[in-house]
Amino acid sequence: MTYFLVIVAPVIKNIHEIKANNKLSILLVKRIIKIVIDKVDHDLAWNILGSAVATAVKYGTRELIEECMTIYPYIIWYHVDGYYLILEAIIQRQEQVYNLVHQMSGHKVFVAAQLHEKGNDNALHLAAKLSPPHRLTVVTGAALQMQRELQWFEEVNKFVRPSYREALNKMGKTPRMVFIDEHKELLKEGQQWMKDTASSCTVVAALTITMAFAAMFTVPGGTQVDGKPLFLNYNTFMLFIISDATALFSSSTSTLMFLGILTSRFAEQDFLYYLPKRLMIGLLSLFMSIAATMITFSATLVLVLRDKVT
C-alpha cells in the first residue's frame, strides 16, 4: 500500500499543480484584459488583444480566446494575415478554437463565407490545404493523418454555403481539387503505410490460425480409444477448447479484414471510414486472438502439470 501511494502521490500532485496554474493563468488573463479595456482606447485594445488572440489561435489556447471574446466581442473581426479568426483556426487545424469561435460568433456564416483577397479562397479551400507540420504529426501513421485531414475537410464542409463547395479560386480549382493536389504525397504514404501494416499483421494472424487449428486436433493428454479427449471432464479442458476456438475465429476475422485492406482501391474517401474501420477491426481481432492463445497455452500447462500444480 505504501509503495502504491509513493507512485500515485506525485501524479496527483502534478495534476493539482497543473489545475492550480491553469486557474491562476485565467485570473491573470482576466486582469490584463480588464486593465486594457479600462484604458477606453479602442486602438490599444484592438492591437493588444488582437495580437494575443492571434497567437492563441495558432497554439490552440482556447481559454485566452474565450475570455477575450466574452469581454471584448468585437475581437472576432480581428485579421490574422488577412484571415478572420475562424478561418485562421481552420488553417491551423485547432479544433477547440474552431468550435469556440463557431459557437460564440453571431456572424459565423458570414465569416466562414469570406474570400481571401490574395487567392480568392473560401473556408473550404483553406480546409482542403495540407495541415501545418506541427498539427499533421499529432497522430501517428500516414493513413491516420489522411483520415484526420478528411475529417477536418468534411467538418468545414457542413456549414459553408452550398455554392462555395464548387467555387473556384484564382487557380481555377474547387475545394475538392485543392484537397487532391495538396494531399498527393500524403495519400501515397498512407497507401504504403496501410499496406505494410496489413501485410505484417496478416502474417501474424495466419500463424495464429495455424497454431489454433493444430491445437484443436492435438488436445493435451491425447485421446481415449473411442476418440474422446482424456481430460474431457475437466473444467480446465473446457477453458482450453473455448479459448482455442476464440483464437481461431478471431484470427480468421483479422485475416479477412487485412486481406480486405490489401485488395482495396485506396482512394481518398476510403481513408475516411472504410480503411480505418477495417484496420481497427483487424487489430482488435488480432489482439483478441493473441490473448486467447495465451489463455489456451496456460490451460494446457495446467492440464499437463496438474499433478505438480495441485
Residue 121: what pLDDT?
79
Predicted pLDDT at 281: 95
Query: For residue 289, which of 129, 274, 218, 297 has the smallest C-alpha distance?
Result: 297
Question: In whole angstroms, what is the distance from residue 87 CA to residue 58 CA?
Answer: 11
Per-residue confidence (pLDDT) for residue 5, from 0 to 100: 46
Instruction: Give the pLDDT score at 104.
Output: 66
Yes or no: say if 106 and 139 are a contact pair by the CB < 8 Å rule. Answer: no
Q: Is 65 helix (H, G, I), strand (E, B) or coil?
A: helix
The one-letter amino acid code at 103 reads: Q
In whole angstroms, what separates CA 211 from the centre of its chain? Answer: 34
Half-sphere exposure of 49 (CA within 13 A, CB side): 31
Using 70 as the pLDDT threshold, list the residues of the chain that sit under it.
1-13, 16, 22, 40, 82, 104-119, 221-227, 230-232, 306-310
Please choose, from the candidates 146, 151, 73, 152, the residue with its C-alpha nearest in 3D space to the C-alpha of residue 111: 73
C-alpha to C-alpha distance for 222 and 26, rounded to whole angstroms: 70
SS3 223: strand
Tell me, what amino acid is at 165?
R
Chain-centroid distance of CA 305 in Å reads: 46
- What confidence score (pLDDT) does residue 308 get? 64
